[in-house]
Each structure stands twice: as C-alpha cells, then as structure tokens.
Structure 1
C-alpha cells in the first residue's frame, strides 16, 4: 500500500504506554493506529495494513507471542515487520519472540533515539521486501511470490529437474483479425486476451513464463510444487476457454475469441534461462515441445492433453480419445485426448 508516511500499529494493554508510543512515533513523522489487546491487533492489521507493528508481549487473552504466530501464519503478513516492545529481557524470552516471528526487540524502559533507530531499520527492511515482492510478482504469480517470500530457502529458483504440467494457449484467427482492423483495436483485443489468460493460470497457482504474441506459455509445478498440478493445469485451461468466450471488445463489436490449448505432464528442467544481462524463469524439455505442438494441433475451443496428463486427472473431465497422432516435428506417435468438458 502506497502512503506518504509510514503507518505504525501500536499494541499495548496499558493506556499510558499506548499514549507514550503514539506521541513519540508521531513526533518522528509516522502515522499511528492503536490496539489495546491481541485480538484488536490482529483485526487492526487486516483493516489498516500497517507498515510496522510495535507489539507488547504481556497482555491478557491473546498475548504478543500468539499475535506474532497468527500473523506469520498468513502469507499476506509474512513480510510485516514486528517490533516487540516489552519489559521481558531474558535471553529465553527473546528466543521465544524471534521463533514466533518477531523481527526485533526493544526493552522497556527505552530511549527515544533507540526506538527511532529500530523503527527506521525495520521500515527500511519493509521497503526492500516490498520492492522485492513487486519485482517477483512480475516474474511469477502472486501465489508463487508469496510462497517464495514466506520460505525463500524452500524454493529453488536454480535449474533442477521437476515434474510439471505445461500449458500453451493461442488465440485462433488473431492474425486475420489484426489485418482487418486498426492497430489500436488489435492491441486492445490482445491485451484483454492476455489478461484473461494470465489470470486463469495464476488463479490455479501456475506460473506464466512468457506471453508469446497472441499466446500464453505457462506451467504448474515450479518453482512451487503441488500434488495436483495436472488438475490445476486442466482447470486453468477450462477457465481460460470460458473467459475468452465471454470477452467483449468495445472496439470490435460482435467479435468472439476462441483459443487452442495444449497441455502435457512430464519431467523438465526448471530454472533461470537466458544471458547474464537478461533472464527469466522457465522450463525446458520434451514435454514443453509436445505441449506447444498440441496447441498447434488444437482447433478453436479445443483443449488437447497427452496421456500423462489424462491419466493424472482421471475422472475430472469428460474426454474424447483421439488415438495416436503424429505431431509436427515429432518422430514418435503421441496419444492425445480432447477435453470435452469438466465434470460437475
């Protein structure tokens, strides 16, 4: 959230302590909201989305440690700085606080200059993390970015073998439409389609690797792995087809779009691909190539999948077995299934 001045949530069950922190923080140039217990603190974070929480530990009901644990359990608050302002100063108390998710400690009674220094330090950290999050969300989906920020060492962005489901989608007839209309109208159509495609993929936890002209290249299973990635890919494809059919382009009245989609599941190499100056996160391997060729073979409105994807999702959808097809550029025959519809 963009603000002219940082907003600090102050939490303490003692009115005098609240008043003191409020006065000092406002004097330092920050805006302040208050909460007098743990439950109010959790609610205030959701309502005001502060940039920093100054949190007392010893409070009746939900104490400061439990507030930390509740906030850190929610991906949206993983990067929210928490400063424990407490009379507890034993090493074991600090360990408990840090393990619960606090970022720093300030022991009561405190000096105003120390408060100012710790608050500035934590807000700098918050600004850097926000910037990192903004950049990461241009790189991967919001859900993947949140997972990376929540557990950065659990997600490997380097090249490694992954079992993923790959999706290619392409608008049918776009080249002809573009040649028949003004460039502004064609660009409007393209942007609306790519928005729909990106949102469909990210709604199911996928990663959009590239926007290829009038096409979308996405995958499920990297950098964050889910047990049901093939199902996520199929559901994303189905939603994409539905939403494309609903698109209305004011500059192109009466035009209705359809896409051809191909999905495969298999082992690939996932990681940062490119030169030292320009990189992006993507996957490479034979399943990617097959997925692209399935997309090329798909007719308007079709979703074609390979046998691995079909076998993984089972009765999720009604399928038409197209048998073994020879895809362009592939020497081997590929078993292909057409998704007729998702089962209710």
Structure 2
C-alpha cells in the first residue's frame, strides 16, 4: 500500500488531506512543518510527499531543496500546495524540482487525481521503457495498424449507411467519462491565404491535413472533425487500442502533427522558393475530461453528423488559441498530463485565463516523450 507524507501547518487542511488520501487506500504520515516532515521522509522512504509552501521552521521550498539534495530520497515525487494568489510560488516550486502543485482551495477529486498520477509514474515510465519510446510507441501501435485500417473502413461504411437510416433508427449520443481532445490549427493561415492562390493554398492545406489524418488514425482516434481551418480529434480507450491509453496516444499524435508541419515547410521551400511566405507551423492543444458525441440527423436528407460537445471540448479550443499566443507549440492541460505522468516531458507551466470561463486552466507545454529511465 503506498505511503504518503503530508506536511501542512494548518490542522484542518492537514486533516482533510490525510482523510481524503486514507479513503483512497493510502497510508498517511503527517507533520505540521517542513523540518519534521523531512525527517519522516528520511526515516520512512514514502512513495509521495504532499507539502504546503508556507510553513513554520522550514517552508516547503527549503524542504524541497533539502529533499532533492539527499541521495537517499531525492527521487521522491513532491506535490506542493499553494494558494491561487501565490502564482510566483507556483513558478518557483516547479523550477525547484516539484513534480506537481495544487492550488487552494482544492477539490478532493483533484487531490486524488494528482496523487494517483504521481504514484502511477513508475508504472507509466515502465510502459514507455518497454516501448523504447519513439520506436516503441510506433511499434506497439504498428501491430494495430492493419486492424485499425480495417476498422476505419468499417466505420466509413457504417457512416455511409447511416445516410439512409431505417425508419425505426434511434439517435443516441455516446458519452465518455474520460477522453482526450486534441485540436490543431495552422499558425499564420491568413498569411498563406494572402500570398497564395486558392489552388496553391489548397495544395498546402492538403499536404498537412492528409498527413494529419494519417497520424491521428494511426494512433487510434475515435473521431476526427474539421472546425474552421483546424482539426478536432477525440481519443478514447477502447478494445481496439488497449496497448496505450488515450492520453498517451493523443500526446504522440500531437508530436506527430508537429513533425508533419516540418515536412510541409520542406514542401514549401521546394515548391515556392521565391515566395516570401511565413513559416508553416501549427499549434496544438490537449485536454482530458468528459466528452459527449452528439448525433445530429437531418430528417429531410437523412444525413447523420456527430458533434463533440462538452466543456472539455470548448476548453480545448480556447486553450489552443491562448497557447498559440504564448508561443507554446503543444499545450496540454494538467488534467490531461496527470494521465500520462512519467511518460512525457513538459516545459513551462502556467494558469491560463480563457475567454468566457470563470477560472483559469492549469496547463503546461508538452515537449516530447520521456527518455529517462
């Protein structure tokens, strides 16, 4: 049974955190300051540390620095607790070696998810190791490739047949309690539209989205749909994609889309060497949570369309626009990243305000798959 050390000077918060963790089946030891907590870590070698930032005797940052300097416990994952107003603390914590942070006040479910993500880290790293990362994720999915191709053909045939539904056909939405949404859009699309003819622009767009379609299908996308000049993709766990969870497959697809953009840039260099075109690049957002696939039927023509709906979808679209402005090529919500903890490398992390939403979304830049053991 995993052991967690909790460091929190506020008795009520300390009791709440310990209670939530114990209800989830974890053993918990607690301390009211960083110095006492550090001794608990050294003596008991826990699987995880959850620590407040502001504590007497030794604060969370000093505790974290001492923990990382001790060879016997330096690899212990640490989650920091901080208030929403202390954004500077978040940045300091992540650059000081924290593995995650949770802002106060937090929901019990958020605490459980963050703890589970860190405790599952070794298991996820083992999965990545057995795949040998770059070649391995592809290798694991290569076994599915031919099966998935047949599956997509079957889906296409099914979708075509749905255009002539039976008289008693029922419209049923699909609901997923947890899925990963990917949205990719071309940066500087207006610049290409201004300098290229419609025919040339179509060739460029086709170059990218043909590659994009192949990429997301290879990694087992449940649904792919164009939204404006962007592409919305839904990944879910299913019997057809049991080797890798939907979050990791979506992350790998996002990285593949970034590579596809580089190939399009090479195409532009060859096809339009004298044109002063902007650099071809894409911006990708990833987010996980509940998703519904609503079936929309046209009673006159019999057409059936599937529309992804829900807060997870809308937040992904908004995150892509915000992340693009900040210069992140691939932005991922922390809710998505916690499902692949240990399997990916991340860069900067920030609370990003999104238009129309009452609270910011916690997100980080996805840099690549984890290479370390």
- Structure 2: unaligned runs, 5 residues or longer: 1-145, 162-169
Q: CA deviation at 1:76?
A: 8.8
Give the structure 2 partner of residue 135 of structure 1. 157
Matched, 1:194 2:209: yes
Change (3 A) 1:237 1:138: farther
Partners of 1:305 and 1:187 in 2: how far apart? Answer: 29
Contact 1:194 1:214 in 2 (8 A): no
- Structure 1: unaligned runs, 5 residues or longer: 1-73, 80-129, 140-155
Change (3 A) 1:182 1:160: closer
Change (3 A) 1:180 1:339: same
Kindly tell me the number of residue pairs found equivalent between the two proteins.
204
Secondary structure at the counterpart of residue 295 of structure 2:
strand
Matches within 5 A, 1:144-293: 158-162=172-176, 163-221=178-236, 226=241, 228-247=245-264, 248-249=267-268, 250-253=270-273, 256-276=279-299, 277-293=302-318
RMSD of aligned C-alpha atoms?
3.2
Q: CA deviation at 1:338?
A: 0.7
Matches within 5 A, 1:116-127: none
Give the structure 1 partner of residue 362 of structure 2. 335
Q: CA deviation at 1:213?
A: 3.7
Q: How high is the TM-score relative to the length of structure 2?
A: 0.49
Change (3 A) 1:301 1:327: closer
Q: How high is the TM-score relative to the length of structure 1?
A: 0.53
Give the structure 2 partner of residue 294 of structure 1. 319
Q: Deviations over 1:10-55 (max 9, x none)?
A: xxxxxxxxxxxxxxxxxxxxxxxxxxxxxxxxxxxxxxxxxxxxxx
Matched, 1:311 2:338: yes
Q: CA deviation at 1:341?
A: 2.3
Partners of 1:291 and 1:262 in 2: how far apart? Answer: 6
Q: Larger relative CO (CA 8 A, sep 6+): 1 or 2? A: 2
The structure with the larger Rg is 1
Partners of 2:362 and 2:149 in 1: how far apart? Answer: 45
Partners of 2:330 and 2:368 in 1: how far apart? Answer: 9
Partners of 1:167 and 1:324 in 2: how far apart? Answer: 19
Change (3 A) 1:173 1:270: same
Secondary structure at the counterpart of residue 315 of structure 1:
coil
Higher deviation after alignment, 299-308 or 181-190 = 299-308
Secondary structure at the counterpart of residue 342 of structure 2:
helix
Q: CA deviation at 1:271?
A: 4.0
